[in-house]
Structure formats: structure tokens, C-alpha cells
Amino acid sequence: MRRLLGSVRARATLAATLVVAVALVAAGAAVLLSLRSNLIGQAGTQAERTARSVASELSVGKTARQLDLDEDEEPVQVVDDDGTLLAAHKDLQRVSGTATDEVRPQAKASEAPEADDDSQDPYDSDDGGADSLEPGEIDDRTTFSNGSATIDHDTADYRFAAVKVETREQGTLTVYAGAPLSAEQSAVDTATTVMLIGFPLLLTVVAAVTWLVTRRALRPVEGIRAEMAAITASEDLARRVPVPDTHDEVARLARTTNETLAALETSVERQRRFVADASHELRSPIASLRTQLEVGAAHPELLDVEGAVEDTVRLQRLAADLLLLARLDAGERPAADARLDLAALVRKEAAGRTGVRVRAPEGVDVAGSRGQLGRVLTNLLDNARRHTRSTVEVSVRREGEWAVLGVADDGDGVPEGDRERIFERFVRLDDARSRDDGGAGLGLAIARDVAVRHGGTLTVRDAPTGGALFELRLPLA
């Protein structure tokens, strides 16, 4: 059961079925209540019509004994103020829900007060009778009650209406007339039966349709999942998940997944190339250093100590560059509360370098790592020194909310098609240049990565003097 409910399709089907079930139960209950109320109201109207018809006969002077209550098969009673039954349907055998459960009229000791005794006439009093009705007047008010009655051995439930009428001879009488509730009960029972049969069938249809529609909607998701499982098993990041020909969330999920796979493939390929290039770069100085040491071991007088030291320093620098790149790839970011003057840093790094001119006003503050930004400036100055003919110009200025550091040389510049490629790792445009002079091709890559980690950019364009102009943009502190 837990495994079944773990399916999105099963949960969606169950949720839809429960929602429809609740809605059907609420609607069914409302329909039944409304139907029952309407039918009871109709029965009450019919009972009231019968009661007022009998009351009309009493109001025009008929006595209770003169009434013909056997025309219809509905129970009718006429009761006086004392609760004495004066008239009833002759076939009435049992009744409940009225003022009295008697079914046979009772004879009163006195049918009417003396006509010549004005003091005994209840309508001569100031209050006009108990209900303030005049002789021959029918009360506008009708009271209703539910009960049952047995007529000619047939028992049924009834809706009773009670209407009062004032008579001169018999005083205030109450007419009780009933209308059967069998139609209401039959209609409610029929509606209940239909609902009990129809609701489960409708819920079954809803569940089946939801199951099929959900399966159809989730089929592309299953295709994406299967393809991702295959990619994971094969470790082939060149594969892509199928994109459905729709414009819904599933299609966007597939496209995003493919974009993620492409980025992951690029990252993995970059790491592989990085490892291969790093191994290649490390092999040369290690091989050179080993050769020198082996020659020195066999012929101490031939040991090139300066060359061994240079190869060792080169190895040390390369290892430091690789370590910094690894930290940057791991997402290391500078401390946000570190604040430094970019102009002062430029003058410090440019001090002692020949052919470098600096134009850097005071007070251009940025937030970041002094060591990493100093490394960026060192790499840019070293790159400019290798390509310049005479002079390297370094400038610092404010530009809106940015601090802009420019390093320009008067060399041959960078071809437009290579202005992004030079920031890749282990890339050197001058293949004929010696490794000792050109470095390992990591300086500009490190500079751009540091710039990005500081929320800035590093770009290259043509310098006014004809060479290359590298611009580092950092947000002002």
C-alpha cells in the first residue's frame, strides 16, 4: 500500500476521487434536504387547504356533527378548546401528532350556551374571545406538525395542519387535517437509492479517467527518468533526455534537464582537460629536474644548480596556480567585509617594475581578498610585460558604481576571435614561445575566475596604443 501511494499517479487519482466524493456527498445531501423540504411543504399546503375547507363549513354555521369528513381518505379531526374530539373521519382508527389521539367523537354535556343568556356569550366580552376571533372568522395562522394515522387498517405518516375557527354555537374549534407524506418518502428513498448506486459508479469513472489522464501526462516524465537512469549507468553525458512536443511543465523540465546535462558535460570535460593539461605541464619541469639530478649524481661537476632551482620554482608556481584554481572551482569566495584601496594595491604591485606607468587616484575602494586581487594584478602585469614593446600603462578610475582597472600594452594586441579563448586554462596563443617565457597558460584564467568570484568582470579589447587593454571591473565598496 505504501509503495502504491508512493506513485504520483496513485496519489493524484486518490486525491481527485476524494474531492469528487466529498463534493458528491455534499451535493447529494443538499438535494435530499431540498427535495424533502419541498415535498413536505407541498403536503403541508394540501393539508392546510383541507383544514381551511372544513373550517369554512364551520364558520358558516354548520356544527361538527353536520360535517361530512368521509369524502377523502385523509385524516380529519375537529377539536374544541377543551381538547374534546367533536368530529373525525369515520374510518380513522389511530392518530398521533394532533391535539388528541381520540378517533371517536365525544358528546358534550352542553352543545351550546343558552341563546338568551347574554352573560354566557363568550363574544360579548371585551377581549373578543380567547383568540380575539369574531364568530364565523377563521384564524389566518396555521400550525403544522408531523404524525401518523391509520385509516381502514392502512397506516402512514402525515403532515398535519391545524386551523382555528370561531363559531357562535360551539365556541373556538380547531380543525386538524392531514396530507400523506408517502410521496415525500418515496421520492427521498428513490433519490437516495439512485445516489447510492450512481455515486460509486461515478467515482469509479472519475478514478479511472484520472488514472488514465495522469498516466498519459506522466509518461514523458517516466521517459525522462528512464533516460536519466541510463545516463547514470552508462556515464555518457553526451546523451540527452527526450523533450515532449508540448509547451507544459514537463517539456520545460526536459529542456532544463538537458541544459543541466550539457553544463555537467562541459564541466566534466573541462576537468578532464584540466587534469590532462596539468599533467602535461608538470611532466616537463619534473623530467628536466630529474635529468639534471641524475646527471649531477653521475657527474657532480656537470650539475646545473641554477637550472634545477628554476625548474623547482616553476613547479612551485604551477602547484600554487593549480591549488588556487581548485579553491576557486570549489566555490571559495572572498570575505565580504574585507575593504581595500585598489589604487594603493596597484602602486604596490607596480613598484620596482620597469616600463610601467601608473595613473591611480586615491580612494577607489573595493571589497574582496587583497591576496587574490593582488594575484590578478600580478598576472595582468606579467602578461602585459611579455607582449609589450616599450611601456605598460596601468589606470584606476571610478565609473558609476564600478571601479575599473585597466592594464594596456603597446604590443600586437589580441585577435578578436581569440579574446575569449585566452581566458581558458592552459591556452597560449603563441605556440612557438617557450614554456619558460610564456608560462603554463593559467594566469588569465585565474584572473577571470577571481574577478567573477568578486562579482566583477575581466575583458580584453584594443588599447589606444595599438596593443591589448585588459579591463577589470569590480563593484565599489
pLDDT in tens, 102-144: 888 876 544 444 444 443 343 343 444 444 778 888 999 999 9
pLDDT in tens, 25-35: 999 999 999 98
Average pLDDT for the chain? 83
- Give 299 or 91, the one with higher predicted confidence: 91
**How does DSSP classify residue 476?**
B
Q: Where are the beta strands (DSSP E) in 241-367?
A: 339-341, 356-359, 365-367
Of the listed ranges 205-219, 253-267, 274-288, the least confidently predicted one is 274-288
Strand 468-475 and strand 457-462: the pairing is antiparallel
**What residues contact 65, with CB distance under 8 A and at least 6 apart?**
86, 87, 105
Q: How many CB atoms lie within 10 A of CB 434?
A: 8
Domains of the chain by range and CATH? 1-234 (no CATH), 249-329 (1.10.287.130), 339-475 (3.30.565.10)
Query: What share of the chain in percent tops pLDDT 90?
Result: 25
Alpha-carbon dihedral sign for residues 421, 422, 424, 427: positive
CB-CB contact of 66 with 86 (8 Å): no
Of the listed ranges 132-141, 159-168, 317-326, the least confidently predicted one is 317-326
Q: What is the mean pLDDT of residues 36-62?
A: 90
Per-residue model confidence (pLDDT) at position 175: 92
List Cα–Cα distances, 221 to 234, 241, 248, 264, 401, in angstroms: 20, 10, 12, 20, 46
**What residues contact 41, with CB distance under 8 A and at least 6 apart?**
none
Is a pLDDT exceeding 90 seen at residue 36? no
Per-residue model confidence (pLDDT) at position 433: 44
Per-residue model confidence (pLDDT) at position 215: 85
pLDDT in tens, 426-438: 777 754 344 445 5
- Give 35 or 330, the one with higher predicted confidence: 35
Structure pTM?
0.51
CB-CB contact of 50 with 161 (8 Å): yes
SS3 state of residue 233: helix
Per-residue model confidence (pLDDT) at position 133: 79
Is a pLDDT exceeding 90 seen at residue 459? yes
Q: What is the mean pLDDT of residues 306-310?
A: 78
Is a pLDDT exceeding 70 seen at residue 464? yes
> Residues 349, 352, 356, CA angle at the centre, nearest 5°?
75
